[in-house]
Amino acid sequence: MRGPHNIWRVIRTGATFERTGAMRVALEALDAPRSLRIAARVLGWPFAWLGLKGDTNLPPVTRALTALGPAYIKFGQILSTRPDVVGGELATQLRVLQDKLPPFPTERAKQVVARELEMPVAQMFSEFSEPVAAASIAQVHRARLVGTGQEVAVKVLRPNIERAFRKDIDAFYLIAWLVETLSPNSRRLRPNDVVAHFEGVVLRELDLRIEAAAAGEFAANTARDEGFTVPPVEWFLCSRQVLTLGWAKGIPYGDTEAVIAAGHDRKAIASRTLQMFLTHALRDGFFHADMHQGNLKVGPTGDIVALDFGIMGRLDEYTRRVYAEILMGFIRKDYRRVAEVHFEAGYVPSDRDIDEFAQALRSVGEPIFGMDASRISMARLLAYLFDVTEQFGMETRTELILLQRTMVVVEGVARSLDPNINIWDVARPVVEDYITRNIGPKALVSDLLKTARVLSRFGPRLPQLAEAALLAQNAPRPDPAPSRWPDRALFAAIGLLAGAGLLALLS
């Protein structure tokens, strides 16, 4: 489906933006140059009649995105958390994309639940409400369990949603191909790989059994995190298209006035949101990667209540350490160390000048400090960072896509509660704690223990490995020249013995 026929989808995207008036609004919100605005109108106007009409009761950009489908709606959800990029008015308009989209009929949802769970709805739930939230992929119903009377949230996938998403993703592949073909310099960003990564994430989100498992793992990891709550999973009421969690009480993050009226400290909640995200990413390597306002509530006691675990991110231990050192370098204004970490991790080609890269990083980092967040234009900052990465040949790291995107979203969410929040001041204690525990003498001892434990698993085979290594060492060789070192097999056996001994000493 990734053939040229997807050109129609690309053309219709531009035509829909033009027909709904979203093209003009979006270009103005992004402060696009006048020449680009004129070019967009001249090229878009002849095709406007091909665009989708959408819901005329919605604002232009929201109207265009909802008309175009699920993948575009996801894009709009991210923009809704960035008032500093698209402006406060447009960000407010886009928030309806988070959980206030048109629902599908409740009877259709009950049919899906009954089919998936192989039981009549009345035997499972004494109450089953109309949709209380409807997003791009699924909608949620409030229900009550038969017998116990426990309140639960039942999430049901939209009918035919997987087919609709595949159509949008196929068009994205065509766009990525066009970008790579027409702009060779963009290939370093690997647009096709980015789309492939997005496709994998979305397809996992379309299987609610995976979301149930993610919710269970996330709840276990965060069980001791003060001020953070994850609803429990009702495992016997979950399937591919149905997910049942405990009902989460609280005020939606997007309702700032209600949060204030309830007496909650919104600045403290904003700071905790950022810190919890960083804690989960660095400490656990498993984090909520879709933390927009529609997926967060403020609980009755001021706790952060997380919802919707369809998109979760993972980072291996090495990447976490690299990420922490980069953050800590910026916080300490040690741009030389930040540059060294980039080179050590292979993020920047080794043939580039490290001092020049450090200087470029300084030009990015210095403006951040000494001012509140409301004076920082994230759009200009990201534009300049793009210029710097292009200059030094950095490639897109697909394993960091979710982390980078979620950082942008979480910062936007926190800023909606506290416009003056400074991400660096808030992040510092979390990053410093991680650095202390995972980089330095304590971390070295921990790494040695882990290595020794792995080596000790070969304990029962050590005699045979050592004997085989010695036999191989004494076997006739074509080259009569004596070897300075034992061969690799003997060296491996010695290493295993040493590891086992080290484990015995440290245990």
pLDDT digits (tens, 9 = 90+) for 376-410: 555 455 556 656 766 787 776 656 666 777 787 88
Q: Phi-psi region for residue 190, left (φ > 0), alpha (ψ -120 to 50) or beta?
A: left
Alpha carbons 422 and 419: distance in angstroms, whole number? 9
- Residue 17 scores a pLDDT above 50: yes
Could you tell me if 203 and 191 are in contact, meaning their C-beta atoms sit under 8 angstroms apart?
A: no
Active site residue 290: yes
Q: What is the mean pLDDT of residues 264-285?
A: 94
pLDDT at 507: 47
Q: Pairing relation of β-strands 151-157 and 138-145?
A: antiparallel
30 — pLDDT class (breaks 50, 70, 90): low
Q: Answer for the pair 83, 91: CB distance below 8 angstroms, yes or no.
A: yes
Provide the token pair at 124. 């499972």
Torsion on CA atoms 439, 440, 445, 446, rounded to nearest 10: -20
Identify the residue with better confidence: 89 or 455. Answer: 89
Q: Does the predicted TM-score (pTM) go above 0.85?
A: no
- Per-residue pLDDT for 124 more than 90? yes
Q: pLDDT: is 94 or 250 the higher one?
A: 250
**Does pLDDT of 502 surpass 50?**
no
Report helix, strand or coil for 363: helix
Distances (CA, A) of 429 to 139, 141, 341, 353: 38, 39, 20, 32
Stretch 309-315: mean pLDDT = 88
pLDDT score recorded for residue 247: 95
Has residue 114 got a pLDDT over 70?
A: yes
CA torsion through residues 420, 255, 377, 185, sign: positive
At 47 the pLDDT is 75
How many other C-beta atoms lie within 10 A of the C-beta of residue 138?
A: 25
d(CA 61, CA 28): 12
Give me the residues paired with residue 153 across strands.
142, 245
pLDDT of residue 293: 85
Of 229, 235, 288, the closest CA to residue 410 belongs to 288
pLDDT confidence tier of residue 474, bands split at 50, 70 and 90: low
237, 152 contact by CB (below 8 A):
yes
Residues pairing with 133 in the sheet: 140
Neighbours of 32 (CB within 10 A): 13
Q: Judge contact between 440 and 110, C-beta under 8 A.
A: no
DSSP code of residue 105: P
Greater model confidence, 5 or 484: 5
367 phi/psi in degrees, rounded to 5: -60, -20
Burial (CB count <10 Å: 0-12, 13-18, 19+), residue 211:
buried
CA–CA separation, 473 and 486 (whole Å): 7
Answer whether residue 46 shows pLDDT above 80.
no
Give dist(CA 342, CA 385) in Å, integer.
14
Question: Per mean pLDDT, which of 142-146, 286-290, 315-319, 411-415 is the most reliable?
Answer: 142-146
What is the Cβ-side half-sphere exposure of residue 243, based on CA atoms within 13 angstroms? 29
Question: What is the pLDDT at residue 140?
Answer: 94
- For residue 181, give both structure tokens: 């073909």
Phi, psi of 255 (to 5 degrees): -95, 75
pLDDT at 133 over 90: no
Per-range mean pLDDT, top range of 157-166, 224-233, 330-339: 224-233
3-state helix, strand, coil in the chain (%, to 5): 65, 10, 25
CB atoms within 10 A of CB 500: 18
Q: How many separate helices (H) and strands (E) can be counted in the chain?
A: 24, 10
pLDDT at 379: 46
Please give the pLDDT value at position 185: 60
Provide the pLDDT confidence category of residue 251 given band limits of 50, 70 and 90.
very high
448 class by beta-carbon count within 10 Å (0-12 exposed, 13-18 middle, 19+ buried)? middle
Residue 119 has pLDDT above 60, yes or no: yes
Distances in whole angstroms, Cα of residue 370 to Cα of each of 374, 395, 420, 427:
12, 30, 12, 15
Which residues, at least 6 apart from 459, have a Cβ–Cβ distance to it below 8 Å?
Answer: 496, 500
Give the chain's mean pLDDT: 80
Cβ count within 10 A of residue 329: 22
Indicate the range of 142-156, 253-267, 315-329, 484-498 predicted with least confidence. Answer: 484-498
* pLDDT at residue 158 tops 70: yes
The residue from 290, 303, 308, 418 that is catalytic is 290
Tokens in use for 273? Answer: 């949101």
pLDDT recorded at residue 391:
77
Share of the chain above pLDDT 70, in %: 71
Select from 380, 345, 377, 337 the least CA-distant residue to 361. Answer: 337
Find which of 77-86, 243-252, 253-262, 434-443 is predicted with most confidence, using mean pLDDT: 243-252
Is 494 a residue whose pLDDT tops 60? no
**Measured between alpha carbons, how far is 233 from 214 in angstroms, rounded to an integer?**
10
Contact 299, 229 (CB under 8 A): yes
Q: What are residue 140's DSSP bridge partners? A: 133, 155
Residues 211-219, mean pLDDT to the nearest whole number: 96
Radius of gyration (C-alpha) of the chain in whole angstroms? 27
Helices of type H across 160-263 = 161-182, 191-205, 208-221, 256-261
